[in-house]
Each structure stands twice: as structure tokens, then as C-alpha cells.
Amino acid sequence: MGAHGAIYHERQIRELCALHALNNLFQAKGSFTKTELDDICVQLSPDEWINPHKSMLGLGQYDVNVIMTALQLRNYEAIWFDKRKEPLCIDTSNILGFIMNVPSEYKFGFIVLPFRRRHWIAIRKIDKFYWNLDSKLNAPECIGDDADVITYLTNQFKSNDMELFVIVKSDMAKSKRWLKDDSHQ
């Protein structure tokens, strides 16, 4: 990791945005694999003919349970961020990054279909700056420094039906050290 050219960025394939978000977050190809995420789906619902944690067609579209379990396998936690709080309460020095879940249009060529889908996006600090590592982007987009990422997240809450997950080491989740001191509850 380092200069803009050294940022790892997986591009969107099929409905594998959750896989891409995880690999982009950990900055390495193969940090997680489709097979690993599919196995997690089976572990979460072993007796289901149609697995509720992924697309019926097996192309991806993994849900939050799969992401949370995958992170736990690497000693990380995805903490759902309560949108009633301000992102200013996040201590960015104690997190790995963020995963956002945002609405996404479903297109067939140039035609927008009336289906509402959700899309997973990773945001991570690399060197001194936070990067939007959305797999639908041609290249990572620089968000800026710690203050800029908080402003970015605040604006996302205002303009988007977005869910935010703060990604931290497991011990950090238990101690709530990802929150600034006056935010612990």
C-alpha cells in the first residue's frame, strides 16, 4: 500500500460487491474468496434449500450476516453505526475502515429496472488519506483526511438510504474504543 497506484482495488464482477468490499478493505486479492463466502452462507443456514444469505442464482448478493461472519474469521467486527449519532463520535485512529451498504439501481444495458438492490462499498485509510474503494468505480477515489471522511459520512447519511458499519479489531469492539471518550455508553 502506498501511492495511488499501489492501492488494491477490485472491480465489480456479477453480484460480488460484498466480496470486493472485503478484499478492498483488507487491501489484498484473495483475502476472502467466493467459495469462502458461499461456505459461510451454508454454515449460517445449513438446512435451507434456497439460502437466504445470498442470491438464489449463486452469483453473490451476500447479506450483512455473511460479511460479519467473514470479518470475525479474521478477528474483526462490523459494528452497525446508529444514524441517530453524529459520525464525529467515531475515533478514526482505532478503526480499520468502513463498509457502507447503499441503494443501487438494477440495470439491463441502458434500461433501469424497477428492482431495488443494495451495494456494499469499502472505505479505508491508506497512508494519510481515506479512499472510497467502491467496486463500481473505475479507480479508487480519494476522500481526504480524518476530518474529510467524517464530513463525507455525515453527507452520505443526509443524502442516502445508507447503512454504515465501522470495522474494528474484535477487542476494540468489546471495549468500544472506536468511539471517542465522551461517546462511550
Catalytic residue numbers?
17, 119
Place of cell 474484535: 170
Quick one: DSSP state of residue 13? -
How far apart (Å, rounded) are the C-alpha atoms in residues 96 and 19?
A: 17
Looking at the chain, how many residues does it have? 185
Separation between Cα atoms, residue 135 and residue 20, nearest integer Å: 6
SS3 content of the chain, % helix, strand, coil (to 5): 35, 30, 40
Q: Are 149 and 143 in contact (CB under 8 A)?
A: yes
What is the C-alpha separation between 92 and 87, in angstroms, rounded?
10
In contact, 166 and 95? CB cutoff 8 Å = yes
Find, among 110, 147, 112, 117, the residue nearest to 129 by Cα. 147
